[in-house]
Structure 1
């Protein structure tokens, strides 16, 4: 299993964080929409906490992102890596 420090995981978190910032959404307002404390958002954005797939989908949708695009891109990269091996 990939860690929270893997390049793949970090790219997903970076995309979520950038989308939040680009939309002018604060950590606090995103946390409120998730019915979580602000520290929840800070922890996953800083790599202190890993998101599960349900949390990821919920957050992506709140940020108007299509979660399937990120998952497809991860799968595409994994398939390319597997072919090279």
Structure 2
């Protein structure tokens, strides 16, 4: 399977990350500060320039006030709905 950073599923993930951050009333700067990372880190994963590994996603979810499993469940629901 050819690797592609810009698949439809990746786009859905990025959209969910952005919407979740905005829904929490946070700016990229706010999330970056909570992560102890530069704002560019958040910008890069939200734009798809950079992918998150599972431990980074765990940290992002924590910074957004979420449990990783809840985020993944929401993502899975969206992905399943888009398959229909």
What TM-score do you get using the length of structure 2 for normalisation? Answer: 0.74
Larger Rg: 1
Q: Runs of 5+ in structure 2 lacking a partner?
A: none
Residue in structure 2 matched with residue 43 of structure 1 by the alignment: 44
Residue in structure 1 matched with residue 5 of structure 2 by the alignment: 4
**Partner Cα distance (1:22, 1:70) in 2:** 13
Deviation string for 1:7-66 (max 9, x for gaps)?
A: 222212211110111111010110011111000101111111111111111111221333
Q: Runs of 5+ in structure 1 lacking a partner?
A: none
CA RMSD of aligned residues (A): 2.3
8 Å contact from structure 2 (residues 61, 71) kept in 1: no
Q: How many residues align?
A: 77
Report matched runs for 1:1-85 at 5 Å. Answer: 2-72=3-73, 73=76, 77=80
What TM-score do you get using the length of structure 1 for normalisation? Answer: 0.73
The 1:65/1:10 distance shift into structure 2, 3 A limit, reads: farther
